Structures are given as C-alpha cells and as structure tokens.
Amino acid sequence: MKKFVLVFLVVGLMFSMAACDSGGDSGGTDTSLDGTWVHPGDGSELILNKGNWESPGFAKGTYKINGSSVIFTITHVHIDYFQGAAVSKEWYTKAEAKAEILPKAPEYGMTEAEMDTNIDYLYEGYTVTLSEDGNYLDLPGLGYFIRK
C-alpha cells in the first residue's frame, strides 16, 4: 500500500511540474511553445504540440493558455503509475483506470472507495501561472524546463 500511495504522490508532483510548462497566448493555444522541453535535473521531458502535451511514461492530455495561466487537462495516465497491478494496456483514461484498477484495490490494502479517490487525484487538471524567460519555462518551487 505504501508503494502505491507513494506513486500517487509522485504523480501529483510530476503533473504539477508538467502543468507549469506552457506559453502565454490569451485564450488559446500558443504554438510558439511547441517542442520538447527538458528538466535539466532529472532529464524528464514535456512535449507540447498544438494544445496537446505528453510527459512520456507519466501522463498526457491537453493544455490551453489564458493570459499568463496555463490550464492542463490530464486525459491519460501511463501504465507505470499502476505499478504492481496486472493491467492490460499502456495508457488509461480515468474511466478505463477505474474499471480495471478499482476491483484490485484490496491488493494495495485499500478499499474501493480509497482507490477511487486516488484515481480521481491522478486525473486532476492544473491551472498554473506561467513564467517564461526565453527558452526557459519556470516551474515555481521545482526548477525549470529548457527547450531541447
């Protein structure tokens, strides 16, 4: 159970980092940010492409820019975040994750209600205030990503 809960905490941190990584076009998609962004500390990548984002091996979804805010929606979580579960595919929507993972909650020492809450947490979107300086995207409190 501890490992599974830790995975959920790490996912939240990664999504927080990913959510800080987009441009500043009022009310839409800023394609000037399209490309691959790399965190120099751990090498994790964030790929932005015309309103879609992916952090390989973690999650993917869509983003929209509203002034200096970036709104990230998480549509899929990677199988790696369901460690230890016998899952059948690589990417999961929230509904798919619930259908396949909820019945396995006892394997993690959780009730289905607790697992349901954890899965909901995985798919929370984020709205982040963006700081952009040239080829650097600031991640307040976490560092920055640079354009690859």
CA dihedral 52, 41, 140, 128 (to 10 degrees): 10
Q: Could you report the average pLDDT of every consecutive run of 10 residues in the chain (148 residues)?
A: 39 42 49 83 88 88 80 86 66 91 89 94 79 59 66
pLDDT of 69 reads 73
DSSP state at residue 10? H
pLDDT of 19 reads 42
pTM above 0.85, yes or no: no
pLDDT of 84 reads 58
What is the C-alpha radius of gyration for the chain, rounded to an integer number of angstroms?
16
pLDDT of 119 reads 92
pLDDT of 122 reads 86
- pLDDT single digits (tens) 29-38: 668 778 898 8
pLDDT of 33 reads 75
What single-letter amino acid sits at 140? P
What's the per-residue H, E or C state across 73-127? EEEEEEHHHHCCCCCCCCEECHHHHHHHHHHHHHHHCCCHHHHHHHHHHHCCCEE
